[in-house]
Amino acid sequence: MSHVLNLLFLEDDVYDAELAISELERAGYTCRWERVEAREGFLAALETPDYDLILADYNLPAFDGLTALALLRERDLDIPFVLVSGVLGEETAIESLKSGATDYVLKDRLSRLGPVVKRALQEKEEQAQRKLAEQALRASEAKYRTLFNHSADPIFILRRDTYQFLDCNLAALALYGYTLDEFRSMTVHQLHPPDELKDLKRNHVDLAAKPTRHDTHVTREGRRLSVETHSAAFEYEGQAAWISIVRDVTSRVKAAEEIRRRNRELTLLNRVISAATSSLDVTHILEVACRELALTLDLPQAAAALLDAKQTQSTVVAEYLEPGRPSALGNRIPVADNPSLTYVLTHKLPLRIANAQEDERLAPIRELMRNRGTVSILIAPVIVRDQVIGTLGLDAVEPRSFSDEEIALAQSVAMATGQAFETARLHQELQHHAEELSKALQKLQELDHLKSEFIQNVSHELRTPLAIARGYAELLDQGELGDLRPEQEKPIAIIARRIVMLSRLVDDINTILELETQELHKEPVDLVELVNDVLTEFKVTAKNHDLTLTGDVQPDLPCIRGDPVHLRRVLDNLLGNAIKFTPAGGRITVCLERDGENALLEVADSGMGIPEDQLERIFNRFYQVDGSLRRRHGGTGLGLALVKEIVAAHGGRVSVTSQVGEGSVFRVCLPFNGAA
């Protein structure tokens, strides 16, 4: 496929123009061309400069090729310009090329036109590519310079052979405090502290193999920085260089060091605490504290001493020693005239002494210091409940100034040791109290067992004579043994009533004992039938007390598994209490219905009600709301206790709501599960 060539031809001879076009078509071009003859036409054509090529005759009647070339260059139009002329001298040709013409062709040698045009178009394409590359380079350099100058991290440009600074950004100037001229007179080695310069040059030569480094730099003011440097080789203004991006990680390094310190401290404390929790032996706890502190602080020996009760002397009871070191166990250190111990006891703070064998504060134990080879010492108080009970002594056999961090660590261990002592003391107290409580519980259980046996025996012994007495009393009261004189009727009636009450009390006691000691004999129980029977029996009693007793029983309820005798006692007690404590004219309602998987029994009355502060206690054994009621109505305080215990034995629950003066509602919830 031929190349389509948009062509502008400055030519006054149509025949010459057509010859040139024919030559280009032979060379494989398809030409779309426009011919102009004068300046005005040429300028008008340049208003829409979409031409691939301009061919121009050098010499026209009123215009010439060099002038046309000048007009083209004034407009900064990048269009190849080829002179096609009949006569063109060498000097003129050279001048035209210097002025920007791409090439020239003589009209009698038009066979050269095709190759010349091809080369001109190639040069145009190459020039366009160069311009694009230059634009991209300028954009890249601008972007680099922007990033370089606005980076928050310092950036250095170094000579690859000498590590001399060639350039650096504003962040570097701000962080290090040097001017750009000062940097350019330095090498990167001068940013390092003197003690790190030995292997520095060798390490920097290996930057290509290890582009990331962690170093210490020093600012102009002498501040030490922990830095992370990332370097890469590149060309900078024609010379081999390194570009190094520096990140100030001083805060991060300090934080990491603090974390390591805290981890070391926590590990040490954990070991001491573990020893304290695994053993309540005070001596063992002190031995662990001495060993862990000595190993952590790289010390050959450490000792723990405890004060006596009067704080007159301290005795070494535990220690850690490297092999071959002399022991201090059993040494007694007086408190009187001992400035070091007095300071610790008074201020409750650690004491560090750099020269243990010469310091006057250690004069009373100087001989001990010399025997142990102690040069420097740190003494930390062991405190329990704000009272110093002993000390931890850390011995250095070479001159040493214990740092604030080491002192804080020793004090933390001493505090943990004190807490372990307190824990051991509390454990001993708790153990003592537990033993006492165990003995008391055992005694209480024995007494409870004796009580139960006694009650069981008494109730058993009372049951037979009571039954006989009750029978004769009822016969007397009913006149079966002969008529009574009028003055005998009332006493005999009272005797019969009291014997009945006493029999019920014995029955209640026996029921409670059975619930405590025996399993219920459960069988299918029809609650509907049971409730209806009880309602029928109690209606007469309610009528005698001028009370209205009604029932609302849902039919066809499932049976429950239970003890019918005990369940009957629940109904008897609840209805009996309702009748007993409801004044004449009142109402009592008994409801039985299904509530999910349970049977719900409610006994509601319009009686005197129960005070709110006593509702939680009415189900306790022998508890009565008001003693005067007991005297008026009788009772032992066992009825509701029996209700609660029987219901609980059936897997149910009982509750009550009440308003004084308005009445009470007792609710019994019994599960159907296990029904036949």
Q: Report the helix count and the strand count for the chain, using DSSP H and E.
A: 18, 23
Between 47-61, 238-252, 378-392, 604-618, the lowest mean confidence (pLDDT) is in 47-61
Q: What are phi and psi of 292, to 5 degrees?
A: -65, -40
Reported in sequence order, the residue ranges of 258-356 that DSSP labels E, i.e. its strands, are 301-307, 313-321, 332-334, 351-353
Q: Nearest 5°: CA angle at 602, between 601 and 604? A: 160
Examine the pLDDT at 515 and tell me if it is beyond 50. yes
Q: CA-CA distances (angstroms) from residue 467 to 475, 509, 569, 577, 668? A: 12, 16, 19, 24, 32
CA–CA separation, 206 and 233 (whole Å): 11
Residues 6+ apart with CB under 8 A from 225: 175, 216, 217, 218, 219, 248, 250
Average pLDDT over every residue of 655-669? 93
Higher pLDDT, 58 or 157: 157
Between 113-122, 280-289, 370-379, 488-497, the lowest mean confidence (pLDDT) is in 488-497
Whether 489 and 473 have beta carbons less than 8 Å apart is answered as: no
Coil, strand or helix at 52: coil
Q: CA-CA distances (angstroms) from residue 454 to 78, 449, 517, 638? A: 128, 8, 14, 18
- Banded pLDDT at 674 (limits 50, 70, 90): very low
Three-class SS string for 218-278?
ECCCCCEEEEEEEEEEEEECCEEEEEEEEEECHHHHHHHHHHHHHHHHHHHHHHHHHHHHH
The fold adopted by the segment(s) 3-130 is Rossmann fold (3.40.50)
The fold adopted by the segment(s) 263-423 is Beta-Lactamase (3.30.450)
Q: CA-CA distances (angstroms) from residue 317 to 287, 311, 380, 403? A: 9, 15, 15, 27
Task: Give me the sign of the Cα torsion angle 580, 583, 584, 589.
Answer: negative
Examine the pLDDT at 178 and tell me if it is beyond 50. yes
- Banded pLDDT at 198 (limits 50, 70, 90): low
Between 4-13, 301-310, 622-631, the lowest mean confidence (pLDDT) is in 622-631
Q: CA-CA distances (angstroms) from residue 388 to 308, 380, 485? A: 11, 10, 91
Q: What are phi and psi of 313, to 5 degrees?
A: -150, 160
Examine the pLDDT at 554 and tell me if it is beyond 90. yes
168, β-bridge pairs: 156
Q: What is the pLDDT of residue 441?
A: 82
Between 104-118, 476-490, 526-540, the lowest mean confidence (pLDDT) is in 476-490
What region does 596 belong to: left with phi over 0, alpha with psi -120 to 50, or beta?
left
Examine the pLDDT at 330 and tell me if it is beyond 80. yes
CA–CA separation, 83 and 107 (whole Å): 10
Structure tokens at 365: 């134990």
Best CA proximity match to 307, nearest among 365, 374, 368, 382: 382
Pairing state between β 53-56 and 3-10: parallel
CA–CA separation, 380 and 304 (whole Å): 10
Examine the pLDDT at 181 and tell me if it is beyond 80. yes
The fold adopted by the segment(s) 151-248 is Beta-Lactamase (3.30.450)
CA–CA separation, 82 and 56 (whole Å): 6
Q: What is the pLDDT of residue 551?
A: 94
304, β-bridge pairs: 318, 392
Q: What is the pLDDT of residue 631?
A: 44
313, β-bridge pairs: 334
Best CA proximity match to 241, nearest among 161, 181, 145: 161
- Where in the sequence of the chain do the CATH 3.40.50.2300 domains occur? 3-130
Q: CA-CA distances (angstroms) from residue 510 to 446, 498, 515, 517? A: 20, 18, 9, 11
Structure tokens at 422: 């307190």
Whether 414 and 392 have beta carbons less than 8 Å apart is answered as: yes
- List pLDDT tens digits, range 462-486: 666 766 776 777 777 777 777 777 7
- List pLDDT tens digits, range 129-170: 888 777 776 776 667 777 788 888 999 999 988 889 999 999
Q: Nearest 5°: CA angle at 510, between 509 and 513? A: 90
Whether 47 and 20 have beta carbons less than 8 Å apart is answered as: no
Residue position matching structure tokens 């426009």: 34
Whether 589 and 604 have beta carbons less than 8 Å apart is answered as: yes
Whether 65 and 103 have beta carbons less than 8 Å apart is answered as: no
Structure tokens at 399: 């001159």
Specify burial of residue 318 (Cβ count, 10 A radius: 0-12, 13-18, 19+): buried
- Where in the sequence of the chain do the CATH 3.30.450.40 domains occur? 263-423
- Where in the sequence of the chain do the CATH 3.30.565.10 domains occur? 519-671
Q: What is the pLDDT of residue 456?
A: 61
Residues of the chain by 3-state class (helix, strand, coil), percent to 5: 50, 25, 25
155, β-bridge pairs: 245
Chain-wide mean pLDDT for the chain? 83
| Architecture category of domain 519-671 in CATH | 2-Layer Sandwich (3.30)
Q: What is the pLDDT of residue 528?
A: 94
Q: Nearest 5°: CA angle at 328, between 322 and 332? A: 160
Examine the pLDDT at 415 and tell me if it is beyond 80. yes
Coil, strand or helix at 386: coil
Whether 236 and 156 have beta carbons less than 8 Å apart is answered as: no
669, β-bridge pairs: 600, 653
